[in-house]
Structure formats: C-alpha cells, structure tokens
Amino acid sequence: MSEQTKIEWADSTFNPWIGCTQVSPACDDCYAARSTPARTLGVAWGVGQSRRRTSAGNWQQPRKWDAAAESFQADHGRRRRVFCASLADVFDNEVPSEWREALWQLIADTPNLDWLLLTKRIGNVNHMLPQAEDFAAQYPNVWIGATVCNQAEADRDLPKLMAAPARIRFLSIEPLIGPIRLLSKSVNGDLSGLHWVIVGGESGSSARPMSPDWVRGLRDQCAVNQIPFMLKQWGEWIPMLGQAEGVPVQPNKVTTEDGWVMGWAGKKASGRSLDGQVHNGYPSQVLVQVSGSTSRATDQTKYRSCIAKR
C-alpha cells in the first residue's frame, strides 16, 4: 500500500485486502501479522477469520501508477514492479471470490504495471485464475511466484509453479531455513520454466539464522541454469567468518547445523553481500517485455550484469 517500498525486488506494494492463515514453517514469525496495518485495523490471522478489504482510495493507487508509466519508464528505463498482497495472499481460500475478480479487473485495467503475485498456495493458482483461453497472453503483465523455505516445500511446490500459465514465474525462498536443491526429481531435471530466484534470511525478534552455504548452493545452481539470482537480505544474523568484518554483533551467537558461527547484527547492518558481491539478478528484458518472445535469454553478458560488486 505504498508507492515506494524498501523491498528490494519491487517498486511499489498494493494490498487489495489484509489477512491470511499460517501454512508453512516460514510463517512462524509472520511479519504481515505483526505489521502496523494489521494491528491498527485489528485483523486476526487464521482459518475462519475475516479478511479486511482495503479502501476504495487504496484501490485507485495502481491506476495512478499506470497513468504515470511513461514518466516511470523515463526515470528507470523499465516498467514499475508492483508486489501485490504483501500483507495477504491472492490465492487464499478465505478470500471472497468477488474480491479476486475485482483484482483481476484492476490488473487488466493497468497494463503498464508488472504485477508480482507471490503465494504460499501455489496449488490454488490454476483454479483461481480468471477464465481465459490463454492467461499469459491476456495477462502478460502478471508474474506468479511461489514461496518455499526448505527442501520439502520446494519438492512439493516447484512443479506447481512451473505449471502456472504466467509469462514470468519466480521462486521466493525467504526465509531460507535449510539447504535446497532445485533440480530434484519433482521437476524432472528441467528448470527452463523458472525465470528468477530470490533468497533471503529471516528478520524479526525470533529470526532463525541462514547458513551461507545454503545461499551459495542456490547461487551456484542459478548460475549453472542461467536463472537470475537475488540475495535480498541476510536478515538479523550474519556469518562471523569473513562476512562480519567491521560489523558489530551482539554477544549471543549460534552455530548452524553445518558449522557456521552466526552473530546477531540486525537486518540493516547485516546487509546483502555474499562473498563480496551484491547479487541483484532480475528476469531479462527479453522475458519481461509485454510483447515479443518469452524465451529464456541466453546472453550471459546480461546475466552477469545483474551481479554488482560492492
């Protein structure tokens, strides 16, 4: 619900409604449930709890952003990315179907925005999409992402994501709470339908540490498979060896299962650098342009340009 957001992979956030149900180990310390809007409006999380639709004025914001698309393009050299439902889930079973229908209409009415729909319920996507003979062609500005946090969720949900009919499909692994191998039997060794991977550690007072080897493993898998990779954040914990030089940490430290000593530095101080690099991968312009080919870009220069040295 903001024209500008600090979320590294989006420009703006829009919440058509607020509220959700915890369905994953990643939800244990849900930031959305403890967010200021949720607390101010008294939104209760859980099955059977009413979701709170946001105001008519809020629903007009994307139309304003769409109208200003030419100016945004001139300033940024690309289209505006809107993270939809940062405090909810578009594909939540508890959401009235007419609300979702209104959202699809809003998305259709704002073709100059790229809508990033991120869900923990990727299995609901196909039967909750609007009726369309070719969804990707009729809604070319929709990116669909799945959130997973461990290998079990990746095995279960990555094939469902790959089957989603969106032009851009992305994986958000935040918080990463265990090692993940993308090329498992569940995807039959084919990641050509995955266009982007975002990785992040957990934030908040109950944050769990993220091993640097888990991050390196995903970075390397993405490089081999030509998938743009973004390290969004370390979260509250930072590796003490080679990573935390000059970064003050609190006395309490923990050791991960694979032997890394992690220090609590806080989200801001921990940053998002891995082995001296900030990884800012995004889907190639060949993929994200609204018209034209949607095949994977093979130009490695474009891929390498996504990685900026600190």
Distances (CA, A) of 267 to 59, 100, 180: 31, 34, 23
Tell whether the model's pLDDT for residue 188 goes beyond 80. Answer: no
If DSSP states are collapsed to H, E and C, what string results for 80-131?
Answer: EEEEECCCCCCCCCCCCHHHHHHHHHHHHHCCCEEEEEEECCHHHHHHHCCC
Q: What is the mean pLDDT of residues 70-81?
A: 97
- Quick one: pLDDT band at residue 290, thresholds 50, 70, 90? low
Tell whether the model's pLDDT for residue 55 goes beyond 90. Answer: yes
pTM: 0.91
Distances (CA, A) of 146 to 44, 111, 217: 23, 22, 19
pLDDT of residue 285: 67
Distances (CA, A) of 101 to 40, 69, 92, 105, 149: 27, 24, 13, 6, 29
- Quick one: pLDDT band at residue 302, thresholds 50, 70, 90? very low
pLDDT tens, position by position, 228-266: 999 999 999 999 987 777 788 998 899 999 999 999 999
pLDDT of residue 1: 56
Look up residue 77 and give its amino acid: G
CB 147 within 8 Å of CB 175: no
pLDDT tens, position by position, 194-235: 999 999 999 999 999 999 999 999 999 999 999 999 999 999
CB 80 within 8 Å of CB 48: no
Mean pLDDT of the chain, nearest integer: 90
Q: What is the mean pLDDT of residues 183-191?
A: 79
Look up residue 228 and give its amino acid: P
pLDDT of residue 299: 34
pLDDT of residue 189: 76
- Quick one: pLDDT band at residue 78, thresholds 50, 70, 90? very high
Greatest Cα pair distance, the chain, in angstroms, is 58
- From 87, 108, 111, select the one nearest 5 (Cα to Cα): 87
Q: What is the mean pLDDT of residues 159-181?
A: 97
Tell whether the model's pLDDT for residue 166 goes beyond 70. Answer: yes
Compute and round to an integer the Cα radius of gyration of the chain. Answer: 19
pLDDT tens, position by position, 103-152: 999 999 999 999 999 999 999 999 999 989 999 999 999 999 999 999 99
Of 15-29, 31-45, 62-76, 81-95, give the lowest mean pLDDT range. Answer: 31-45
Tell whether the model's pLDDT for residue 303 goes beyond 70. Answer: no
The angle that helices 97-109 and 56-67 make with each other, rounded to 10 degrees, is 20
Residue 221 tokens read as 């898998």
How many Cα atoms within 13 Å fall on the side-chain side of residue 72? 18
* Annotated domain spans of the chain: 23-309
Tell whether the model's pLDDT for residue 88 goes beyond 60. Answer: yes
**What b-and-e string marks burial along 98-131, b requiring 16 or more CB atoms within 10 Å of the CB?**
eebeebbebbeebebbbbbbbbbbbbbbeebbee
- From 123, 99, 116, select the one nearest 23 (Cα to Cα): 123
